[in-house]
Amino acid sequence: MTRISCLALLASATVIAGLLTGCSNASADPAYQVANELPDYNQRSFEQYREATKLWLNDNRVFMTDNHEQELDLVLPTEYRPTHPNGKGVLLVHGLGDSPYSFVDVAQHLADKGYLVRTILLPGHASKAGDLALPSLEDWQGVVHHHIQLLKRQTPSLWLGGYSTGANLATEAAIKDPTIDGLLLFSPAFEPTSTAVRWAGLASYFVTWADQDPEDNPLRYNSLPMNGAAVYYQTTEVVKQALKGRSYDKPVFMIMSEADGIIDTGYAAEVFQHTMTHPNKHLVWQGETKATDTHISRFSMKLPEQRIANGSHQGLLISPDNPLYGINGSNIICGNGQTPEHEQACINGAPVWFSSWGHQEPGKIFARLTYNPYFTQSMALMDQVMDKTTR
């Protein structure tokens, strides 16, 4: 059962019995087991935090290759030190089911520009999918808050960035902390496309899993415990409450895909246009609807020469040159909401097109678009927002 179809059932209490058998089957798969506890994140330095996280992951992660050290290096919290420091820092927060690797190219770009950059790991991630049954909203807010304070010890000038769920956490934190210089938001998940997600908290008392799929990606989870969906929804509530009745008057860079089937991009665009009021703001819109606002740059995602049909929720942060997710990347995501036959053909190496989740066209096999064909242009626009000094 797919994540969307399983969550859609939550809208009716009459199907609880079906949910118990349809979405919560017991499994001996180690990926679906749950750790005894979450890792601590309150160390006194980032170096201690990374080492403690590595030890915890080494004991609790379900590894997918024999090279455990390499796998850990890919998903661990990471510090990117600039060669020529500009005295500013950036803290980056990944999304639901993901890992710090999602920011590898953005973080390196920022470090090359002089920023001291850190990526953190939201508790419950990078070990095994079952561990997302453990965290609370307070766990995720706590790790963000703690590492804001740690990075402030290194630099008084700090930006926050986030992807999807991480964008919600970063936005809430920035609203509450007026010393934050601004926000970098990638596919901000302020509002989901599925209204059924609001029932995930209730359903988590009866149902363990929103979605179970084979775990074959060392960089992120394919499956989602109901608790993970519930805590994600809580992040949408707290960020909307933080934004309610007020404006955010610091610089903002936002980037979204029009074809994103995961988040309500229209809602996020409204927030950008009407609630984020600083003149140094910019939205990169990947899609076909023309923009009339001077603060918006549009890039078409109809790119048949690259076999790209449209933009995706996931593909905004990654450079085309990325060795795992880029044009010639080794990590192809075939689970893209298409037919089982097309998914298997993708796995078997058939030629594929690339798209958002769930996109289908007759005669074409689709994999997830995992990179940004306009990465260079997007980073240049982000640089402009961050470089301007108007406050």
pLDDT at 24: 52
Range of lowest pLDDT (120-124, 178-182, 189-193, 385-389) = 385-389
For residue 10 the two structure tokens come to 């939550």
For the cut 70, the answer to whether the pLDDT of residue 22 exceeds it is no
- Return the higher-pLDDT residue of 147 and 195: 147
In a domain, 295, yes or no: no
pLDDT at 206: 87
Residue matched to tokens 């075939």: 334
**Residue 42: closest CA among 135, 120, 104, 126:** 120
pLDDT at 203: 83
Range of lowest pLDDT (1-5, 196-200, 224-228) = 1-5
At residue 345, φ and ψ (nearest 5 deg) are: -60, -40
pLDDT at 389: 52
Q: Is 245 exposed, middle or buried (0-12, 13-18, 19+ CB in 10 A)?
A: exposed
Domain span at residue 95 reads 3-244
For the cut 70, the answer to whether the pLDDT of residue 18 exceeds it is no
The residue type at 173 = A
Q: Which percentage of the chain shows pLDDT scores above 70?
A: 92
Range of lowest pLDDT (17-31, 58-72, 156-170) = 17-31
SS (H, E, C) 168-221: HHHHHHHHHCCCEEEEEEECCCCCECCHHHHHHHHHCCCCCEEECCCCCCCCCC
In a domain, 309, yes or no: no
Q: Measure Cα distances from 127 to 43, 91, 213 in Å.
A: 19, 22, 16
pLDDT at 27: 63
pLDDT at 2: 44
Angle of the 165-176 helix axis to the 137-152 helix axis, nearest 10: 60
In a domain, 381, yes or no: no
Most confident of 9-18, 125-134, 326-335, 354-363: 125-134
What CATH number did the domain enclosing 54 receive? 3.40.50.1820
In a domain, 345, yes or no: no
Mean pLDDT score, 213-221: 94
Mean pLDDT score, 371-382: 98
What confidence tier does 102 reach under pLDDT thresholds 50, 70, 90?
Answer: very high
In a domain, 197, yes or no: yes
Mean pLDDT score, 367-375: 97
Range of lowest pLDDT (8-12, 55-59, 130-134, 148-152) = 8-12
The residue type at 301 = M
What average pLDDT does the structure give for the chain? 91
Q: Which percentage of the chain shows pLDDT scores above 90?
A: 83
* Residues 38/123, Cβ–Cβ less than 8 Å: yes
In a domain, 145, yes or no: yes
Structural domain tally of the chain? 1
Instruction: Give CB contacts under 8 A, 24+ apart, made by 42-47.
Output: 42/142, 42/146, 45/150, 46/77, 46/79, 46/118, 46/147, 46/150, 46/151, 47/79
In a domain, 84, yes or no: yes
